[in-house]
Structure 1
Amino acid sequence: MFKRVLLIQGHPDSAGGHLCRALEEAYAKGAVEGGHELRRIDIAALEFPLLRSQEEWEHGPLPPALLQSQQDILWSQHIVIFFPLWLGDMPAMLKGFLEQVERPGFAFTGDAKNPFARKGLKGRSARLVVTMGMPAMVYRLFFRAHSVKSLRRNVLGFVGIAPVADTLIGMTGNMKPRRAARWLDRLFALGRAAV
């Protein structure tokens, strides 16, 4: 079954040479070969302010640079978010992007404090592709993958995006070319299947 796939590149550095960008490209090539429709958002290329108050989040206008991003999210059936783990969490620019686009009235309706608010983005699945310097198993077992769990449950799950799978890639700082190629092949296969 063909899907509408949205790739969100969360690496805040737009310069080339980052593994996150190579992984995104491998997934995109696989998705195209698999016959899926594809759209992309590069957060580093967007200009938007950080939210500074609950009032601004609930009632302020969405920055014009993010209008298309919301349309792409609505269009999608499967969302893949790529990001490096920085200080144990997603980079601030990715967090700021998610805070901006997941506004009341778009991503959910009702009171944000109500865990039973209507989830506005149901019917979409997601995958998180996270790179890190530490071994992925250490992050998963010792640190309990806390930021990935929070993103899955408190950000994506809150608005109805489920299921959310993850691909954790550790020891990226000194990754050998053969191991990097295996990861790129794996992301190509995930893209081809749009999972």
Structure 2
Amino acid sequence: MSKRILVIQGHPDPAGGHFCHALAEAYVQGGREAGHEVRLVEVATLDFPLLRSKEEFDNGTPVEAIRQAQESIAGAGHVVIVYPLWLGTMPALLKAFLEQVFRPQFAFDLSNGKGWHKRLSGKSARIVVTMGMPALIYRWYFGAHGLKSLKRSILSFSGIGPIRDSLIGMVEAEDGEQRGRWLETMRRLGREGR
């Protein structure tokens, strides 16, 4: 069964050429080979301002690039977010993008006075994180705190689930063979749409 998939490539370097870019492309390629409709958003190429107040977050009008990203998320059944681990969490540019996109009235609704309404229910997600340390150390010693924040406070809060993750450690020490296995894993996940 064909799916509509959105891949958000969150590496902040617009020049490309990083392993995150290759992983995102492998996922896109696998998804398209399987007949899925796959869109790719490169956060580093988008022009959008930082949010600096609650008023902007609650009531500001999104710029065109953010509005298009919201439309892509709304139309997708599965969302994939790829980023490198920086200081234990996602790069600041990706966080700024998510703050712009996952606003009230798009991602959730608090206006009914009875708590929040999750507006993105029915979608699944995969988070792919690359890092210099072993993935096991990040997950168990550091508690994967940055990953948990993205899962719980942004995606799940908006109704997205299930949320799966792929943690890729020691990327700077990996040889071509190991990187090739990860790229094939991403192609397979793209074909499977998960």
**Shorter chain as normaliser: what TM range?**
over 0.9
- Establish whether residue 186 from structure 1 lines up as the match of residue 188 from structure 2: no
CA–CA distance in 2 between the matches of 1:32 and 1:115?
41
Distance 1:133 1:12 in 2: 17
**2:189 maps to amino acid:** L
Q: Which residue of 2 aligns with 1:34?
A: 34
**Structure 1 residue 173: deviation in Å?**
1.1
Deviation at 1:65, TM superposition (A): 2.0
Distance in structure 2 (CA, Å) of the matches to 1:178 and 1:115: 53
| Total equivalences in the alignment | 193
d(CA) in 2 for partners of 1:30, 1:65 = 26
Matched, 1:140 2:139: yes
Distance 1:21 1:82 in 2: 8
Superposition TM-score, scaled by structure 1 size? 0.96
Query: Matches of 1:102 and 1:95 in 2, distance apart?
Result: 10
What is the CA distance between 1:61 and its match in structure 2?
Answer: 1.1
How far apart are residue 162 of structure 1 and its match?
Answer: 0.4
Structure 2 length as normaliser, TM-score?
0.97
* Residues 1:162 and 2:151 aligned together: no
- Mapping of residues 21-60 of structure 1, within 5 Å: 21-60=21-60
1:90-109 alignment, distance < 5 Å: 90-109=90-109
Q: Quick one: which amino acid aligns to residue 194 of structure 1? A: G
Q: Give the partner amino acid of 1:131.
A: T
What is the Cα-based RMSD across aligned positions, in Å? Answer: 1.2
CA distance in 2, matches of 1:19, 1:115: 44
Post-superposition offset of 1:115: 9.1
Using the TM superposition, give the Cα deviation of residue 140 of structure 1 relative to its aligned residue in structure 2, in angstroms: 0.6
Output one character per residue of 1:87-122: Cα deviation in whole Å (capped at 9) or x when no partner. 1000011100110011111111116xx894000111
Q: Distance in 2 between matches of 1:26 and 1:105?
A: 33
Corresponding residue for 1:73? 73
CA displacement at 1:16 relative to structure 2: 2.7
Q: CA deviation at 1:67?
A: 1.3
Structure 1 residues 25, 115: closer, same or farther in 2, change over 3 A? farther
The CA deviation at 1:69 is 0.6
Aligned to 1:9: 9
SS of the equivalent of 2:49 reads coil
Structure 2: stretches of 5+ with no match in the other structure: none
Aligned letter for 2:31?
A: A
Runs of 5+ consecutive residues of structure 1 not aligned to the other structure: none
- CA 1:13–1:153: 2 relative to 1, 3 Å: same
Residues in 2 aligned to 1:56 and 1:15: alpha-carbon distance in whole angstroms: 30
CA deviation profile, 1:141-172 (whole Å, cap 9, x unmatched): 10011111111011100000001000000001
